[in-house]
């Protein structure tokens, strides 16, 4: 069923699926996106919005949302979960970050325009029919092609706007990245009208990876437990780190990059991060850690040019250790960053 006016008010214990019409293309074919709604038997509120594929090649979040609707039992749910697994259906169809015809970044045009371009109309319908009806949300992303990230929420600020850190901590990752955002980003524009939306990065574009899917799924469950939508305790690392900057290591030659570390590794100064090897000359360039640091991201597409970033690093002086969250429904778990740092003799 194609809808223009979306009603998310379903009955207790009900699951609904629908499709929203946004606009039409040059041949008259409709531009739509699907959605799911489920309301638990323990209450109607709060309303949690889960969405993925704002960038059409970011796939892990699609499976996270499907898994939530497959595995969360209505008997256990307090509140309503709304899922939009593929927001940018044209970009998804093209296996691309953006719609190749419109060429607009959907995550730069919120809240959209009712009579705008195709991408702006998708943004308008998603923002008005879904975002405005939620109490909070999780916007599932991945790194761009070739940019494999450690799972983390990305807190964005802009022109004095700074969202509550609590929502970002509630997904239960060790590492939270804070940076300056841009006008038109979903979490900024939603936050401005009082609806916190957490941008959650899990993995890399164009790949379905079970580790990152499972991490994203557990992050959503943590969030739901933290805010009382599910019984049980949210697992939150005893030490969470807020990072406001990172360092990029580049390759000094072109060729094939062979990573020797993974996102989430703690490395010592001078440790080998990877090797670039020229397939034409056999020349090698050894990328080494400039200091004791944490691997935020690593290059996963092997073909690189001279000057291509191959590793994203957090040096320990750039991270702030956050105080423990004091809530009854939180279970503190160990932090790999701190355990690995201690084992390597590195002081955080």
Say yes or no: 116 and 54 in one domain: yes
Give the DSSP letter string of 143-172. EPTTEEEEEEEEEEEBTTB---HHHHHTT-
| CATH number, residue 257 | 2.40.50.100
Quick check: is 209 in a domain?
Answer: yes
Q: Which helix (H) or strand (E) holds 266?
A: strand 266-267
Do 7 and 147 share a domain, yes or no? yes
Determine, yes or no, domain membership for 62: yes
Q: Rounded to whole angstroms, how far apart are CA atoms 154 and 336?
A: 19
Tell me how many domains the chain contains.
2
**Domain match, 129 and 271 both:** no
Contact between 186 and 200 under an 8 Å Cβ cutoff? The reply is no
Element (H or E) spanning 219, and its range?
A: helix 210-226
Two structure tokens written together for 298:
């690593």
> Which of 207, 239, 271 marks a domain boundary?
239
Q: Residue 81 sits in which domain range?
A: 2-239
Q: Are residues 294 and 187 in the same domain?
A: no
What one-character DSSP code corresponds to residue 29?
Answer: P
Q: Please give the pLDDT value at position 115.
A: 96
Is the peptide bond between 111 and the residue preceding it cis, with omega within 30 degrees of 0?
yes
Residues 26 and 89 in one domain: yes
Shared domain for 127 and 192, answered yes or no, is yes
Which of 190, 223, 239 is the last residue in one of the domains?
239
- Residue identified by tokens 């939270």 is 176
Predicted model pTM:
0.95
Are 214 and 270 within one domain?
no
pLDDT reported for residue 348: 67
Q: Are residues 53 and 161 in the same domain?
A: yes
pLDDT of residue 5: 65
Q: Do the domain assignments include residue 333?
A: no
pLDDT at 276: 98
Taking only the tens of pLDDT, the chain with its 348 residues reads 455 568 888 999 999 999 999 999 999 999 999 999 999 999 899 999 999 999 999 999 999 999 999 999 999 999 999 999 999 999 999 999 999 999 999 999 999 999 999 999 999 999 999 999 999 999 999 999 999 999 999 999 999 899 999 999 999 999 999 999 999 999 999 999 999 999 999 999 999 999 999 999 999 999 999 999 999 999 999 999 998 888 999 999 999 999 999 999 999 999 999 999 999 999 999 999 999 999 999 999 999 999 999 999 988 777 889 998 877 889 999 998 888 888 888 876
- pLDDT tens digits along 126-171: 999 999 999 999 999 999 999 999 999 999 999 989 999 999 999 9
CATH number, residue 204: 3.40.630.10
Within-domain flag for 323: no
Return the closest-CA partner of residue 108 out of 165, 54, 160: 54
Residue 71 and residue 157 share a domain? yes
Does 340 map to a domain? no
Residue 324 in domain: no
φ/ψ (deg, to 5) at 223: -60, -45
Look at residue 338 in the predicted model and tell me its pLDDT.
Answer: 87
Residue 347 falls within a domain, yes or no? no
Instruction: Say whether both 298 and 159 belong to one domain.
Output: no
Provide the pLDDT for residue 324: 86
Whether 253 and 192 share a structural domain:
no
pLDDT at residue 4, as a whole number: 55
Q: What is the structure's pLDDT at 6? A: 82
The angle that helices 60-71 and 210-226 make with each other, rounded to 10 degrees, is 50
Kindly state whether residues 166 and 275 are assigned to the same domain.
no
The pLDDT, as a whole number, for residue 1 is 44
| Residue 328, in any domain of the structure | no
């Amino acid at each position: 069923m194609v809808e223009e006016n979306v009603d998310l008010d379903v009955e207790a214990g009900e699951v609904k699926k629908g499709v929203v019409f946004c606009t039409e293309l040059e041949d008259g074919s409709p531009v739509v996106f699907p959605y799911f709604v489920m309301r638990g038997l323990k209450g109607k509120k709060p309303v949690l919005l889960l969405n993925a594929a704002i960038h059409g090649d970011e796939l892990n979040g699609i499976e996270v949302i499907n898994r939530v609707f497959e595995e969360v039992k209505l008997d256990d749910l307090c509140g309503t979960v709304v899922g939009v697994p593929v927001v940018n259906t044209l970009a998804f169809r093209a296996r691309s970050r953006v719609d190749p015809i419109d060429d607009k970044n959907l995550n730069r045009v919120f809240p959209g325009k009712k009579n705008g371009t195709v991408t702006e109309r998708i943004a308008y319908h998603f923002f008005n029919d879904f975002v405005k009806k939620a109490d909070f949300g999780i916007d599932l992303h991945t790194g761009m092609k070739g940019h494999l990230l450690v799972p983390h929420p990305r807190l964005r600020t802009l022109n004095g706007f700074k969202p509550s850190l609590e929502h970002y901590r509630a997904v239960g990752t060790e590492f939270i990245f804070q940076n300056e955002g841009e006008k038109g980003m979903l979490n900024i524009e939603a936050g401005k009208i009082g609806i916190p939306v957490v941008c959650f990065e899990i993995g890399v574009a164009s790949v379905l990876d079970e580790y990152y899917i499972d991490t994203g799924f557990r992050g959503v469950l943590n969030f739901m437990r933290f805010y009382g939508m599910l019984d049980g305790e949210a697992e939150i690392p005893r030490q969470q780190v807020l990072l406001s900057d990172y360092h990029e290591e580049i390759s000094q030659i072109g060729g094939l990059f062979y990573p020797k570390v993974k996102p989430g590794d703690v490395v010592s100064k001078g440790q080998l991060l990877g090797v670039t090897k020229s397939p034409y000359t056999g020349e090698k360039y050894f990328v080494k850690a400039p200091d004791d640091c944490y691997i935020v991201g690593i290059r996963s597409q092997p073909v690189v040019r001279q000057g291509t970033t191959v590793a994203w690093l957090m040096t320990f002086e750039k991270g702030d250790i956050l105080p423990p969250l004091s809530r009854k429904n939180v279970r503190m778990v160990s932090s790999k960053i701190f355990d690995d740092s201690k084992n390597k003799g590195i002081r955080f």
